[in-house]
Structure 1
Amino acid sequence: MERRAETAGDDSAPSMARTSLLRELPVTPRGLRTRTALIDAGRKVFERMGYLDARLVDITQEAKCSSGTFYTYFASKEEIFAAILEHAQEDMMHPGMEHVDGDNDPVSIVEASNLAYFEAYKRNAKLMGLLEQVANIDPEFSRLRQERADAFIHRNARSIADLQQRGLADPELDPMLSSRALSGMVSRMAFNYFVTADGLLDGKVRPIEELVFTVTRLWVNALRMPIKS
């Protein structure tokens, strides 16, 4: 269940990009446009060729610029990859379940969170597949990615605990274990559908609404949350 849900006083999710590699942003509008164009070109090349096979010359050709221009903004393939992640992660972040106020329907919050997550995953399916590849070959990136995922798992756990205190979820469940299990279910469903199966399950296209209904009902049933009629 994932939706951007930062609120005042809430802890921010850690970046999965190696921010230590990144330089300060250009100060001129032209410099910002050039840097953004390189990031867009780099993302296309990485998604098309994979991280290991992508070369800097492929990125400069995609961006229609010289190698000198590239090195004005980035020192290496690792640095532009970090910039791509920094640029994209707000859209593909793993948001936690937002706080459920007394007047809100908790089930509707779960449903909206899952819908937002699946829609973001669909928009970024190629990049999500790329991240899986990089995590398998780069231990440091794998660590940063896990830390980011853990931040949202903890956030979901806090929301589950809040629901338990209000009598809206099974009090016997461990909030953290429940969050890990349910968050993992949703993320693997998204990966299998949008990346591995390329939009097919059981040989046919499934609308996002069907995926959202299924994972939401499983989440709600697992926590024994009351469903409004």
Structure 2
Amino acid sequence: MSSKSSARGESAVPPLADTSAFRAPPVTARGARTRAALVAAARVVFERDGYLDARLTDITAEAKCSTGSFYTYFSSKEEVFLAVVEEAQHDMLHPGAPHLDEDEASPAAVIEASNRAYLEAYKRNAKLMLILEQVAVVDPKFREVRRTRSRTFAARNARAIARLQEQGLVDPGIDPKMAAMALSGMVSRLAYNVFCLGDKASMKQLVDTTTRLWVNALKLDES
């Protein structure tokens, strides 16, 4: 929920998967550009063809580089897909939307801005989120990626809820972790239903409804 996590010294976002076996990151600007081009190309191909039908030759063709260049930075289709998902996670956790100063804005306004930023980022990444859901059903490794992603969002929101409790603004009897898991899951599933499955709702309806449910669930003192 909070948009000021880094300013408050919260821990860095963990990687979605064990990356210890991945290729070392490029050390030159040219290498970084080539790797970024491959990740961007892979996203195009995955969103167009799906994970199962995506081919490495299509990715390298889209990136306008050789197969040998691909294997300089990635060992497999699975690895480059994880790199694509990592980028999407960063966008969704740090979406670049207008942020509010928590010391100046009301908690309800912060919740609203955070929900809007998340929902807009989910919409940008909806095709990728749909693919991740599908792959997670059949592949335990990607199921763990999805679980880690959900836990990351819930942990950040739990810290925000705990801060509001310390300030005496929300129900002190609520368990921050469980509340964050429930509320984060609600927003995420709603976003999935609308942006991936085609349920009908405007962005205003989504933001207004999720914000009101957050405020009501926490018994937020809006005075």
TM-score range, shorter chain: 0.7 to 0.9
**1:13/1:148 contact within 8 Å kept:** no
Q: Normalising by structure 2, what TM-score?
A: 0.86
Provide Cα deviations, 1:30-72, integer angstroms capped at 9, x if missing partner.
2222221111111111112221221112212222333223223
What amino acid is aligned across from residue 183 of structure 2 in structure 1? L
CA contact (8 A) 2:22 2:75 kept: no
- For 1:123-162, what aligned pairs fall within 5 Å after superposition? 123-162=124-163
Residue in 1 aligned with 2:84? 84
In the TM superposition, residue 106 of structure 1 has moved relative to its aligned partner by 0.7
Q: Deviation string for 1:107-140 (max 9, x for gaps)? A: 0110011011011111111111111122222212
Percent identity, aligned pairs only?
Answer: 55
1:158 shift after superposition? 2.9
SS at match of 1:196: coil
161-170 vs 39-48, greater mean Cα deviation:
161-170
Q: Which residue of 1 aligns with 2:28?
A: 28
Alignment partners' CA distance in 2, 1:49 and 1:67 = 19
TM-score by length of 1: 0.84
Runs of 5+ in structure 2 lacking a partner? none
How many residues get paired?
Answer: 220
Tell me if structure 2 keeps the 8 A contact 1:38–1:70: yes
Say if 1:3 and 1:117, in contact at 8 Å, map to a contact too.
no
Residue 88 of structure 2 corresponds to residue 61 of structure 1: no
Which runs of at least 4 in structure 1 moved beyond 3 Å after TM superposition?
Answer: 1-4, 98-104
Aligned residues: CA RMSD: 2.6
Q: Pick the aligned partner of 2:218 from 205, 223, 229.
A: 223
- Displacement of 1:18: 3.8
- Is 1:117–2:118 an aligned residue pair? yes
Structure 1 unaligned residues grouped into runs of 5+:
none
CA distance in 2, matches of 1:81, 1:170: 41
- Higher relative CO (Cα under 8 Å, sequence separation at least 6) belongs to 1
The one of 186, 208, 211 equivalent to 1:213 is 208
